[in-house]
Amino acid sequence: MSDVERTTSNGTGAVSESFRGDLEGLRALAVTLVVAYHAQLLGVAGGYVGVDVFYVLSGFLITGLLIREFQRSGRLDLVAFAVRRGRRLLPAAALVLVAVAVAGYLVLPFVRWASLGRDIIAAVLSVANFRFAEQSTDYLAPAVEQSAVLHFWSLGVEEQFYLIWPLIIFGLMAMARRRNMTTVLLVGIGVLAVASLVASVAAAATATSQSWAFFMLPTRAWEFAVGAMIVVVGPELGRIPSGLRRVLAIGGVVAIVASAVVFDDSTTARGIAMLVPVLATAAVIVGGDAMGIGAGAVLRWAPMRAIGRWSYSIYLWHWPLLVFPAAVLGVQIGELPAPLRVQLCLASIAAGILSYVCVERVFRASSARLPPPPPPPPRLRASSSSLFPAPR
């Protein structure tokens, strides 16, 4: 779940780097829904849509980052991209996995050690989603013996996206050559999105494929692609009047929250219904930077932005902090006393803040010191500016 980069699209046709505080607030909303869903608080029986919000955001942010790099240097340094992603995301995840291994050894019965160990190895290798899909794990069903790293399935999907998506963007750009690059990117990403959505709906309709539909990148790729297409058509979206953008942002936030309240464990999680939170997130991204009173102003509120900054670490810590007390007591998470569940959520926030300050921020600073790529040769500079010309 990538951090909020300085990415936006403006009316000049360029991918600019003005800070989007509203996107930090959107991340705060997403992580709040997920944590509340897992803790069975606030009545958000469909709070799992927070993960879908994160995926659309990642598609938008990462595609913007890749296009900015191409605009700047005329090429995509895939190795440097992977190193930066790793430095930002892996240290905090590694800390949590070590803590889970120690806690599992201390509090879980011996018969569960081997299974937890295999889960941790899968999480380390960024293939936890494959492991849980292969086991036909029902993520939405409550259970007493749940893996303490079950939530790493979503990080596996995202890390696989980071591995594959730059290659897709590079391939589309190479395919464009002298053609209209905007059109090539939009058509290519659009075809991928439609194919992924169709595969998701088809797999979700088959009982034996539902876990694969839920956990796997091919059936999730359309969500990332929706965010990516916002970047590609950004110059046109920048011409939408500010008042209409405020309406889009308000409607988007309302639709996300409504999905979290109305959806439940019986909703076909990878079906057509998921268009609602995904398109709602897209609406917030398009309209959230509009100035004035509205959803964007709420999302830019300082406490929301703070939770958004801490959201990755909060997400990492919240699940094991809920699972282990339930395992010790031999109950489901929802059977823990409500005050205890609230306290565990607050502990997740505290652990997330410490992890952000002591781990994430330290490694992000080292990532920021990586040297920039060299400038492009004139021909490539011209081809990149044809898609997103530099602002004047």
Nearest to 33 by CA among 51, 54, 19, 47: 47
Structure-block tokens of residue 78? 């895939």
Mean pLDDT of 269-297: 85
Residues 174 and 17 sit within 8 Å (Cβ to Cβ): no
Mean pLDDT of 295-304: 91
CA distance 288 to 17: 15
pLDDT, tens digit, 9 for 90 and up, residues 335-369: 999 999 999 999 999 999 999 999 999 987 765 55
Name residues whose C-beta falls within 8 Å of residue 218's C-beta, 6 or more positions apart in sequence.
196, 199
Per-residue model confidence (pLDDT) at position 363: 86
Q: Which amino acid is at 119?
A: D
8 bridge partner residues: 16
pLDDT, tens digit, 9 for 90 and up, residues 160-183: 999 999 999 988 888 876 678 889
15 bridge partner residues: 9
| pLDDT at position 270 over 80 | no
Per-residue model confidence (pLDDT) at position 99: 98
Supply the DSSP symbol for 333.
G
State the DSSP string of 5-70.
-S-EE-TTS-EE----HHHHHHHHHHHHHHHHHHHT-TT-TTTTHHHHHHHHHHHHHHHHHHHHHH
Report, in this order, helix, strand and coil percent for the chain, each rounded to 5: 75, 0, 25
Name residues whose C-beta falls within 8 Å of residue 113's C-beta, 6 or more positions apart in sequence.
104, 105
Q: Which amino acid is at 159?
A: E
Residues 34 and 83 sit within 8 Å (Cβ to Cβ): no
Name residues whose C-beta falls within 8 Å of residue 392's C-beta, 6 or more positions apart in sequence.
12
Q: What is the mean pLDDT of the chain?
A: 86
Structure-block tokens of residue 279? 């398109």
Mean pLDDT of 31-45: 96
Please tell me the total number of residues recorded for the chain in this structure.
Answer: 392
Name residues whose C-beta falls within 8 Å of residue 231's C-beta, 6 or more positions apart in sequence.
7, 9, 15, 60, 63, 64, 67
Residues 348 and 318 sit within 8 Å (Cβ to Cβ): yes
